[in-house]
Structure 1
Amino acid sequence: MDFTMDLANWVIAYLGDNPHLSIAVVFLISMGEALLIIGLFVPSTVVLVGVGTLVGGGKLDFWPIFVATWLGAITGDAISYWAGRIYGEHLKRMWPLSRYPGLVRKSEDFFAEHGGKSIAIGRFVPGVKAVIPGIAGMMGMSNPRFATINVISAFFWSLAHLMPGVFIGRGLAVASQVSGRFALVLFVLLGAVFITAWLIRIVVMSSIPPLVRLQTRFVESAARRPGRIWHWLADTLAPDNPKALRVVALSAVLAAGGIGFVSLLEDLIARNSMVYLDLSIANLMQSVRNMPADRVMVVLTMIGDGTVLVVLGAVIVAWLAARRAWTIAGAAALTMASAALFVPFMKILLQRARPEEILGSADLYSFPSGHATLATVVFGILAVLMGLGVGRWGKAVLFACAGALIVAIACSRIYLGAHWPSDVVGGLLFGITMTAAFALALEATRADRIAPVSLGLVSMAIYAIVSAVYVTQGHATAMLSYSQPTRANVITRDYWQEAGWKTLPERRIELTGETGEPFIAQWVGSLNVLRDLMKQKGWQIVPTWSWVDVLAYSDGRNDLDALLPRPSLHEGRLADLSATLPSPQDKGRLVLRAWATDTLVTRENGERDPLVLITLALERKKELPIVALPHDVPAPANDVRAVLKLFAQAGYTETASQAPNARRRPPLLVHMRP
């Protein structure tokens, strides 16, 4: 698995650096994915989604990549089909099919059940996808019928594998216009979510054969041992028992989760290896924090808050009770309540401090993460119950979606500094253990009356509504609670006027370490006064930037007036104040941005005023075929002088300055209210 992922990552990076080879590579990957048995080991999904990301980011052209993917999928299935037509039943005795008799039987049953539809369905089903075309040829499916289904299904398969990456790539392109670090955080988050969902789907779909072998060996061994208990286990777990395989799988998950949690706990108590790893990851996360990513992560952490999850859990239990499934309702309630009580018990027992202090939180301790634990238990129980109404493929999709959401919530806790990584891992492991225990208990009950699909739809609809209301009403407060701690730097007015103003940055600092436009002024005073001044002089104050506003960027037909200014960052923070003024002669608009620093200037009477850094940029629309993006260029010198003159006319005096020298250092004027 590690080799496959490393190979996929290498291929994606190589294609980005060598676009001229991309068409041939995606053709071969798509073809190899459909070849007999070989397709089981080709990481087509990861590579094609990654290539789609490069397409969305503008590094590769869409149509050549799509056509190559489509033709490769058609060719691979056609080769497998004709191998089956030519060799017939003899193909099953040839290498490599001779090594996988169980997979061949499963594919034959799949083809017999679905007929021609199996060609289209099989493309999306791990395991049988690399065998079905050969089985179709072996069982005499007509060439015209196969070719028609092959061409059409390959078209939709190619879209399904490329388009998610295209959308991700376009999103990252927009994000990179805001900040390279934001694009990095977004890419890592999406990558973690996607890989989690992919791995869960693969495990659910591919774990049956080894579990069957394990079950058979255990039953044979138990039957040979003396004692009633061993004979009872042999009878209970016999392969002809329809529930036996599920019991084996759930027991394996429960054991793995429990052993993992105990091992992690032992490491935290007795050794320091995990502590050092926690510290390294936490420092890395804090070094890439930025305001846009904070907004996204706070939303994710809020949809995993106890308030929201308790409502979702109550809906699940109420539905089960209303359907008179009393035993299942009791088991679900007991599982969720046990997890909710276990978290504070372990926190008080270990008393492990959080990485960062969370404002307004009475919970001082961190292990295990309550968000990770409860999210795993509640979403896990819901996925288990919904899985009762679907087949193995449906279960794989359900658990993949649940796992993706849980991992996104867990990542937000690490990013925001609310928990150490081991806190989150511990919560996930304990939550998996509790969910497996619930699923095992479910095997001993009748679940035919709970309407699992309807339960899932109703529960998720209510969860979405409650989450939307909760986030809308509490996002601003949560942003303050999870804000990075700042330490005020207090200086005197005299020191600031003489030398202190020189210690502040000369230019806006991107999170990538690069510098942006120069700061044209340092303002000491209230931002409200600055806002009123700009409004009086005809500037339009930009409303608080929301990520909903990014939707306007997705339409390349929008004019500059329909777009909010690009949310530029300074040291990871959005501007505290932005204002615009049309500039027809420059075919754009002037954008003034102001950032309040952590420096406070003390007056003679002891009052303290915040020190604000101000930039001025000329913004034009960047002409792109699909998206509309504002693009900053340095503001002309006459516009800079006009803004500084505006301050002077309003009664602000220059207290320190340096002669402008464009080749050495940008002009910097320091103003202070009289």
Structure 2
Amino acid sequence: MTESFWLNFVHHHTTWLPLMVALVAFLESVAFVGIVVPGIALLFALSALAGSQALPLHPLLIAGFLGALIGDQSSFLLGRFAAPWLERRWPLNRYPQLQARGLQFFNRYGGLSVVIGRFVGPFRPLMPFVAGSYRMSPLRFSLFNTLSAIAWSPAYLLPGYLTGMGAKQLPLLASPVLEMLIGLFALGLAFQQLHMRLYPDAGLWNWISRHGIDPQRLGVHILLGGSALLFLLTIAAQLSGRFAQMNSSLYAQLYSLGQEIPLLSTFVTHLGDPPLVMTLALTCGVIGHWRFGQKAGWGVTLGVAAAIVINHLLKEALAIPRPSAGQALLESYSFPSGHASGAAAFYTLCAVWLLHNQSHTSRHAGYVATLGLVLLIALSRVLLGVHWPLDILAGLMEGVLIAALYRYALLVWTPRKAIAAVPVMALLLLAALAYSLVRTLI
């Protein structure tokens, strides 16, 4: 009876959940509160509850964004005006080693630490405070804070929301669908954990080196082989027709979810528009060559161009029709997804290029954030109803395969000149966000 009362209360008072999400996101981001508040667990529970009740998703995302934005901004102001007083009091005085690590992190990555720190456990509630206490420019901090909050909200709320929604509709999911999703998640997690441990002097690195194998090249070979194999298996699965029912079942559920968040799906999908990614890829070549005297940026241009050409050839050769909703909007064929392959190629190639000479920690954080963005862009194509799930999986593997080839090339022909990664990264991301915002509003 108590559970029924609570569910009815939530169903009839939908404004409470976004407010609670905003409050938790705010508290989780404040320096002297976020250290002790289990914010991620609370956000997952709240978003899962919203998903199980089929409540609209966009108010939750907006609430999470605003809460995180205001929380980090408040933490920055506290660091700027009250750091000496607060550092002597609970709970900050209980974690001096964490403050020291936060300061070291900030000194190493500068403004980028605000973006990275938002997604890194113990640093999340401390980096804005440290940035404020060390007199970072308020305008510069606000820019990094806003951009990272835009990505943070869906990254931390969508998993819970989809889990709640899936739990409610679990009987509708065919077993192979669940097995495929679990398998892909396990594969991605396994590679993430492997890459995280492949840095000089780590136990895994030393163990591999003792066997006469270059650990860096081993990681690239695994990525090359894995992405190529998955790409070919996805094509084989599409041609065999054995997964048609699973493909349709997953599409129906994701498309249904997409009807609740059309503006968000449209905004995200424009980040992968072929004209945008090709223009930005060409910009990488120009900036690298004429601004930094480095030719490696042209690899990004060539990689994206190759992804677009390969995608077009596969579409015409396989001639797989789009879902009915997609046929009403587009005349081209469906498999593989051009947005998924183009976005995967451009953003992962950029990450490889810009982070090549950075520390392992920076590369790992950058790769994880990039893959999260690419997955959202690919998923938006199904949410909008213009592609089947297998289309976006093939597109993702195509783009990742091209990026893996580029990473291998950089290991063989290391660029002699480094590049200012943060300014170029910020320029490209701001250009993409501005383009997507304009395309969404017009």
Report the Cα offset of residue 360 of structure 1. 5.2
1:446 match: secondary structure: coil
Aligned to 1:418: 386
Report the Cα offset of residue 344 of structure 1. 1.3
Aligned to 1:353: 321
Report the Cα offset of residue 378 of structure 1. 0.5
Q: Distance in 1 between matches of 2:238 and 2:45?
A: 40
Aligned to 2:282: 314
Aligned residues: 329
CA contact (8 A) 1:250 1:439 kept: yes
Pairing 1:300–2:268 present? yes
Aligned to 1:207: 197
Give the counterpart of 1:439 among 407, 419, 426: 407
Go from structure 1 to structure 2 and tell me whether the alpha carbon gap of 1:74 and 1:368 turns closer, same or farther (over 3 Å shift): farther
Aligned to 2:235: 265
Aligned to 2:41: 47
Report the Cα offset of residue 407 of structure 1. 1.6
Residue identity in the other structure for 1:353:
P
CA contact (8 A) 2:198 2:204 kept: no
Report the Cα offset of residue 249 of structure 1. 2.1
Q: Distance in 2 between matches of 1:119 and 1:287?
A: 42
Aligned to 2:351: 383
Give the counterpart of 2:424 among 455, 472, 495: 455
Aligned to 1:67: none
Aligned to 1:393: 361
Go from structure 1 to structure 2 and tell me whether the alpha carbon gap of 1:304 and 1:129 turns closer, same or farther (over 3 Å shift): closer
Aligned to 2:101: 118
Q: Distance in 1 between matches of 2:233 and 2:105?
A: 40
CA-to-aligned-CA distance 1:368-388 (integer Å, 9 cap, x gap)? 111111101101111122214
Residue identity in the other structure for 2:361:
W
Aligned positions of 1:28-427 closer than 5 A: 46-50=40-44, 117-118=100-101, 203=193, 206-208=196-198, 234=212, 237=213, 244-270=214-240, 272=242, 274-290=243-259, 293-323=261-291, 325=293, 327-356=295-324, 357-359=326-328, 361-363=330-332, 365-388=333-356, 390-427=358-395
Go from structure 1 to structure 2 and tell me whether the alpha carbon gap of 1:278 and 1:447 turns closer, same or farther (over 3 Å shift): farther
CA contact (8 A) 2:251 2:388 kept: yes
CA contact (8 A) 2:198 2:216 kept: no
Over the matched positions of the two proteins, sequence identity in percent amounts to: 18
Go from structure 1 to structure 2 and tell me whether the alpha carbon gap of 1:459 and 1:289 turns closer, same or farther (over 3 Å shift): closer
1:341 match: secondary structure: helix
Go from structure 1 to structure 2 and tell me whether the alpha carbon gap of 1:394 and 1:419 turns closer, same or farther (over 3 Å shift): same
Q: Distance in 2 between matches of 1:378 and 1:335?
A: 8
Residue identity in the other structure for 1:387:
L
Q: Distance in 1 between matches of 2:92 and 2:232?
A: 46
Aligned positions of 1:514-593 closer than 5 A: none
Q: Distance in 1 between matches of 2:244 and 2:92?
A: 47
RMSD: 5.3
CA contact (8 A) 2:208 2:215 kept: no
Go from structure 1 to structure 2 and tell me whether the alpha carbon gap of 1:448 and 1:48 turns closer, same or farther (over 3 Å shift): farther
Report the Cα offset of residue 49 of structure 1. 4.1
Q: Distance in 1 between matches of 2:318 and 2:436?
A: 31
Q: Distance in 2 between matches of 1:71 and 1:52?
A: 28
CA contact (8 A) 1:254 1:436 kept: yes
Unaligned 5+ runs, structure 1: 1-15, 28-32, 35-43, 59-69, 82-110, 131-148, 173-179, 186-191, 222-233, 238-243, 474-674
Go from structure 1 to structure 2 and tell me whether the alpha carbon gap of 1:266 and 1:415 turns closer, same or farther (over 3 Å shift): same
Residue identity in the other structure for 1:248:
L
CA-to-aligned-CA distance 1:548-584 (integer Å, 9 cap, x gap)? xxxxxxxxxxxxxxxxxxxxxxxxxxxxxxxxxxxxx
CA-to-aligned-CA distance 1:626-669 (integer Å, 9 cap, x gap)? xxxxxxxxxxxxxxxxxxxxxxxxxxxxxxxxxxxxxxxxxxxx
Q: Which structure carries more strand by proportion?
A: 1
CA contact (8 A) 2:224 2:401 kept: yes
CA contact (8 A) 2:308 2:342 kept: yes
Larger RCO: 1 or 2 (CA < 8 Å, sep 6+): 2
Aligned to 1:471: 440
Go from structure 1 to structure 2 and tell me whether the alpha carbon gap of 1:287 and 1:470 turns closer, same or farther (over 3 Å shift): closer
Residue identity in the other structure for 2:244:
V
CA contact (8 A) 1:320 1:326 kept: yes
TM-score (norm 1): 0.40
CA-to-aligned-CA distance 1:518-567 (integer Å, 9 cap, x gap)? xxxxxxxxxxxxxxxxxxxxxxxxxxxxxxxxxxxxxxxxxxxxxxxxxx
Report the Cα offset of residue 403 of structure 1. 2.1
